[in-house]
Amino acid sequence: MQITEIYKSIQGESTYAGLPCVFVRLTGCNLRCVWCDSEYTFHGGRRMTSEEILAEVERLSPSGGLVEITGGEPMLQERELVPLMQLLLDLGYTVLLETSGERPLEAVPKGVVKIVDVKCPNSGEADTFRMENLETLRLQDEVKFVLTDRLDYEFARDFVAQHKLGQHVNAVLFSPAFSKEASGERTAAQCLLDPQELAEWIVADNVPARLSLQIHKFIWDPAMKGV
């Protein structure tokens, strides 16, 4: 598999935010979201076998715990990734899969917690969500919308209502996009959408969504990689 990095840090997003986690970041993405903070994963990386990846995960977290498979878009390497995720589950790890929602997800092992994006209008990748993926969602899974403004918010709010997402998954995440040029200052002023404004909209509309901040951008310099 083509791997950009494997490291251990604090999970920054989702309902698992705040927990220690090993990140396995796969190289390559077929989308180009305008606010993407992972452009360094588009190219490069190094070839690693599943055995080498497993050995590194076990070295970083020998007594189990959380492993996030992320990218890039990890499901572009589905053929090798699916057996690897099953192996991690068999070893007792809790496995999270961060995916853009554009790739088919039927083959993801049932025990994996899927965190699936639905790209909003201002992402530059609107309409890439594969609607068939709604059928693959389980109660353990999470659906994430990255938002830049009111237009994105209304799209997300209406999508959640139309598909009754609140009833089908563990969490619906509304996350303000973070400026990809941000560095140094670790404040909400670096968000493209003010979290306070988003909170007020969610409350006003009673949306069954969780406001999700990328806490790693508030713990470390937002420009820092590998955290």
**Vertex 189, ends 184 and 193: CA angle to 5°?**
130
Q: How far is the CB of 38 from ligand SF4 (least distance, A)?
A: 4
Q: How far is the CB of 73 from ligand SF4 (least distance, A)?
A: 5
Tell which phi-psi region holds residue 124, choosing left (phi > 0), alpha (psi between -120 and 50) or beta.
left
Judged by CB under 6 A, the stretch of 32-40, 48-56, 166-174, 192-200 that binds ligand SF4 is 32-40
**Which of 57, 75 has the CB closer to ligand SF4?**
75
3-class secondary-structure state, position 213: coil
Rule CB under 6 A: which of 38-97 touch ligand SF4?
38, 71-73
The whole-angstrom separation of Cα 170 and Cα 214 is 18
Separation of alpha carbons 226 and 20, rounded Å: 13
Binding of residue 3 to ligand SF4 (CB under 6 A): no
Rule CB under 6 A: say whether 29 interacts with ligand SF4: yes
Contact between 27 and ligand SF4 (CB under 6 A)?
no
Nearest distance in Å: CB 129, ligand SF4? 11
| Nearest distance, CB of residue 5 and ligand SF4, angstroms | 13
Gap between the terminal Cα atoms of the chain: 22
Q: Does 36 bind ligand SF4 (CB under 6 A)?
A: yes
Give the closest residue to 66 by CA, choosing from 102, 14, 107, 28: 14
Task: Give min distance, CB of 137 to ligand SF4, in A.
Answer: 18
Instruction: Rule CB under 6 A: say whether 100 interacts with ligand SF4.
Output: yes
Residues in the chain: 227
The HSE-up count of residue 66 (CA atoms within 13 Å, CB side) is 21
The contact set with ligand SF4 (CB under 6 A) reads 29, 31-33, 36, 38, 71-73, 100
